[in-house]
Structure 1
């Protein structure tokens, strides 16, 4: 991700732009990344008719995608100083709890476990040429009234090439 780090510090706005544009499906659906920081990001689902189900509420698939995009953004922000070494970042498992019918614009805030991120960033590269890490993320979904409408836990596996 060119330009992710400037003078040794993460350029979170550049990372946000890249995360927001890199996956064609996210762009097709219209999930937008609005914020990226260290181990935290926000993605939004616009209030559009095509994002709704037959009951007029936001489709579960759109909610899930926004949550996953937010956590992927959080990962990108968290590992910004090593982003060029990321070989793969794969969702392995998720647990979903939809708490209320979701209506209007939805905001997903994704976060990652700071201790795991610190361990990944501090890891001494191995001789194998590749590092494998497991980490978890959590996304909270809120509507325009700031009502919590869902929460999703994610388990990921990522691989870094050794420096």
Structure 2
């Protein structure tokens, strides 16, 4: 993905997802099949023990996966609706300070597009790691997405 396209995806994503803006999420990096987003530390987003609230961590991870969808499959949105179908998150350690989520597409784009072109509804995982500023992994999430073909 070239820099101009990446900037369009980033600004378009944040314009279209008000909750991401509410939490102050920002992009660290974006490329085809990979996205990294940041959640700044904010006491208003803490839980009862002073770490990042589970909902804020979930939103960070889900947003990074959604950025992959826009950046990698944006050219299919005229013929398919991207939808998350299920998600599983594991909270591994208390998450404090600024957090980043790195999301990675779990299947090749070409494979997913071939299924869509064949009239099927592809499903594919996006794996996400949530880390503190020092690189400690505090959570892992897998989100299953689908591209639901538009029916005429």
Compute the TM-score of the two structures, normalised by the length of structure 1: 0.81
2:146 corresponds to which residue?
A: 157
Q: Distance in 2 between matches of 1:112 and 1:69?
A: 13
Matches within 5 A, 1:47-126: 47-80=41-74, 82-85=75-78, 87-115=80-108, 117-123=109-115, 125=117
Name the CA distance, whole Å, in 2 between partners of 1:45 and 1:124. Answer: 33
Could you tell me which residue of structure 1 aligns to residue 30 of structure 2?
36
Q: CA deviation at 1:101?
A: 0.2
Query: What does the per-residue CA deviation read over 1:116-137, in whole Å, with 9 as the maximum and x for residues that have no partner?
Result: x2123345746xxx75221111
Cα deviation digits, residues 74-96 of structure 1 (max 9, x gap): 1222224x244254222211111
Alpha carbon RMSD of aligned pairs, Å? 2.5
Distance 2:36 2:111 in 1: 23
Gaps of 5+ in 2: none
Q: In the alignment, what sits opposite 1:141? A: 130
Secondary structure at 1:149 match in 2: strand
* Partner SS for 2:52: coil
Distance 1:96 1:73 in 2: 18
Q: Which moved more, 1:100-109 or 1:27-36?
A: 27-36
Query: In 2, distance between residues paired with 1:53 and 1:78?
Result: 33
Q: Distance in 2 between matches of 1:43 and 1:150?
A: 14
SS at match of 1:58: coil
User: How many pairs does the alignment contain?
Assistant: 151
Gaps (5+ residues) in structure 1? none
Match of 1:45 in 2: 39
Matched, 1:14 2:16: no
- Cα separation, 1, equivalents of 2:32 and 2:4: 9
